[in-house]
Structure 1
Amino acid sequence: MARRSSVASGALLLLCCATWVSATDYSVGDSSGWKLDFDYTAWTSGKSFVVGDKLVFKYAASQHNVEKVNAAAYNACSSSSPISSDNSGQTTINLDTSGKHYFICGISNHCTRGMKLEVDVAESSPTSPSPPSSSTTNTTNNNNSGAGSLSPVHATVAFMGLVVLKLGVF
């Protein structure tokens, strides 16, 4: 029985570590989706968007669309020259660059009725390491621990999970 408990504990630690480093898929508007008269500014408050996350817009394809626009078009609710546009009913946007990203519904007055979203995307989460600069060569640390892009904290938790699985510590 103790062995089964240690396997479960180790697996749980490994699962927690994997969850920390995975990207997040955000369903825009949660269960309300992409619709008129919704406060998307309130929806973004308290959320931390990072490179690698995804925005999933769900909407009635016959009534709405999703247009990625620049800041000026966002502020003016102008869909005259979108960066990209989709009207499939479910649009997934990969947040692959840091900075501000702007989205509107380009149908008549939908943007002025609240169908606009601004997200500020951070380069990486506070617990993950920054990738090395391409102009910098690190010759002092060639330790290949197999931890990939895990932060020291995540690598430690993963290691502890493996120890628990191997030794049955708990």
Structure 2
Amino acid sequence: MLQLQNPFALLLSSLFVTFLYQCSATQFIVGDSAGWVIPPFPTYYTNWTNSHFIREGDSLEFDFNARFYNLIQVSQSEYEHCTALEPLKVFNSSPVNFPLKERGIYYFICSVSNYCTLGQKVIINVHQIPPQNPPTPSASPPQHQVPKISPQLSPNGSAPQPSGGTSNPPAPINVPSPTPVGGNVGCPPTPSSIHGVKSNIDVALLVCAMFGTFLGFWMM
């Protein structure tokens, strides 16, 4: 199943990259608003190409009047001598859309009359698109946990004895407890006093009951 999915995933990836490649492509009009004509000065098209950054995947558009001009792609040698004895491509109709599929240097001239020597020629330097690799996530360093050391007690439950001899601990000092001042202050009540309080409560309850009975007969 994985072997069937891998070619499909590669196809989708290539289509996606091609789509992005086409979306990012730019079409340049050579000479801008002037088009492909006899320039006002010899370095006009040289200045134009130096002011544009052209990459592979972009395209060139040459606009000219086909009755007076043409477009010839030539080699570097013929470009320098303004000749078209062995042209690479010839275009006699306008406009010309020239795709730049590969990086490199392209040479174009107009072979009509002496227009090339007057400056109707251009060098296009196509740059390579830098690879755009996705940033790799930085791996966080492993977090080392400090082990917790718990104190170990001896089997009999007592704290470990310090080394260096078997000296006996000092004997405890007996401190006499202070005698309270003022006789029996703060002493708990004796059982006899508790019994007397209980007897007084019983008498009070008996008197209240007799008074309630008398009041009930009197109201009748």
CA RMSD after TM alignment: 2.0
Q: CA deviation at 1:118?
A: 0.2
Q: CA deviation at 1:37?
A: 2.2
- Deviation by residue 1:3-36 (Cα, 9 ceiling, x = unmatched): xxxxxxxxxxxxxxx6995101000000000000
Q: 1:98 aligns with which of 80, 98, 103?
A: 103
Q: Secondary structure at the match of 1:152?
A: coil
Distance in 2 (alpha carbons) for counterparts of 1:55 and 1:45? 15
Where is the strand percentage greater, Structure 1 or Structure 2? Answer: 1
Q: 1:117 aligns with which of 118, 122, 138?
A: 122
Q: State whether residues 46 and 123 of structure 2, in contact with CA within 8 Å, keep that contact through their aligned partners in structure 1.
A: yes
Distance in 1 (alpha carbons) for counterparts of 2:37 and 2:46? 13
Q: Please tell me whether residue 152 in structure 1 is matched to residue 134 in structure 2.
A: yes
Partner AA of 1:32 in structure 2 = A
Q: Secondary structure at the match of 2:115?
A: coil
Q: Please tell me whether residue 53 in structure 1 is matched to residue 58 in structure 2.
A: yes
1:26 aligned residue: 28
Written as runs of structure 1 = structure 2, the 5 A alignment for 1:75-94 is 75-94=80-99
Partner AA of 1:117 in structure 2 = V
**Stretches of structure 2 lacking an aligned partner (at least 5 in a row):** 1-19, 136-220
Written as runs of structure 1 = structure 2, the 5 A alignment for 1:131-170 is 152=134
Partner AA of 1:36 in structure 2 = I
Task: Select the structure of larger CA radius of gyration.
Answer: 2
TM-score, normalised via structure 2 length: 0.48
**Stretches of structure 1 lacking an aligned partner (at least 5 in a row):** 1-17, 130-150, 154-170
Partner AA of 2:27 in structure 1 = D
Distance in 2 (alpha carbons) for counterparts of 1:21 and 1:101? 23
Greater relative contact order structure (CA < 8 Å, 6+ sep) = 1
2:217 aligned residue: none
Distance in 1 (alpha carbons) for counterparts of 2:111 and 2:21? 36
Distance in 1 (alpha carbons) for counterparts of 2:21 and 2:125? 22
Q: Secondary structure at the match of 2:106?
A: strand
Partner AA of 1:74 in structure 2 = Y
1:40 aligned residue: 45
* Percentage of matched positions with identical amino acids: 35
Partner AA of 1:121 in structure 2 = V
Distance in 1 (alpha carbons) for counterparts of 2:95 and 2:47? 22
Counting matched residue pairs gives 113
TM-score, normalised via structure 1 length: 0.62
Q: CA deviation at 1:152?
A: 3.2
